[in-house]
Amino acid sequence: GNIFNGTFSYTYQQAKNTGSDPFTYINFGSRVLNQIAGGNQPPPQAIAPTSNSRPHNLAAAASLAFPSDWNQGSFVGTLFRNFGLFATFRYSSGTAYTTCPVLGNEGVTSGSVCAKAGTDASLNSERLPTFKQFDLRASKGFHLGGLDLSAYADARNVLNFRNVLAVFVTSGDIVSPLERQTAFARDSSSFAAEATKNAIYTQSTGDINLQFAGAGASGCAGYTTQGGTAAAPSCVSLIRAEQRFGNGDGVFTLAEQRAASDANYYNSGRGEFGFLGAGRRVRLGLEINF
């Protein structure tokens, strides 16, 4: 119509092949060990969903645009003239990925090659959650002296949908408890070995006493690594870590060590930002024409 325009579409697509692209076998299948023959896995003999396939897709777009002479002389006309509202919506199936056996693959994410023991199921047998996006833009034109102004608000993912773009192939989620535990075990072992060398480790609880009889960081002068090398900076770093991720009492408990370990590696490298799409974003602007 003169004011409203809209479109709505649905698409069903069946995208299957023996590979998503010419390099699928080289990058994935050729690196997988065949459990029967013992050599490299042969090229796929049957078709499977491609990595970027989305069987179901809904898309919509709509706009409301009121001209400058709409309902002249009325309050409603004054309010809505030169006003525009534009919206787009998309709902799509998640893309396909291949799962891997848990052992040795706890850090592998969707779209990557299984690190060990081949695939856990057929190629691209699982899918990410559906993708949802709703964007909205509103604009209003008006005059100010000799200037033509247009103010707008541009909102992306205005409903703040949670879009999962990648998962761990062993858990099917954006977290991998086994990988997180493995990372902490490595850090905890390092903490314990160094603390034991400096006689500040409590074997029964896993606590590290950094109080140094009330001296705090001043007591780090004689601190050494497990190999006996002077390491006062490491001692100070542990004290600062306990203050930041603990209660600051100078005793680095096992729970505080886990919090520090997670922040140092797991949360910084494996946080939600690496697995989820962007949340709600709103941009405001003013356009001036003269």
Query: CA-based Rg of the chain, rounded to a whole angstrom?
Result: 29
Kindly give the confidence (pLDDT) of every residue in the chain, 290 residues in length, as a single tens digit, with 9 standing for 90 and above: 889 999 999 999 988 887 777 776 666 655 565 556 666 666 666 678 888 889 999 999 999 999 888 888 888 888 888 899 999 999 999 999 988 888 888 888 998 877 765 666 677 889 999 999 999 999 998 888 888 889 999 999 999 999 999 999 988 999 898 888 888 998 899 999 999 999 999 999 999 999 998 898 899 999 999 888 999 999 999 999 999 999 999 999 999 999 998 888 788 888 888 899 999 999 999 988 87
Phi and psi based region of residue 258 (left: phi greater than 0; alpha: psi -120 to 50; beta: remaining): alpha
Task: Tell me phi and psi for residue 140, to 5 degrees.
Answer: -140, 125
Rounded to the nearest 5 degrees, what angle is found at the Cα of 224, between the Cα atoms of 220 and 229? 135
The predicted model scores a pTM of 0.74
Alpha carbon of residue 123 to chain centroid: 23
Tokens of residue 285, six digits: 């602007």
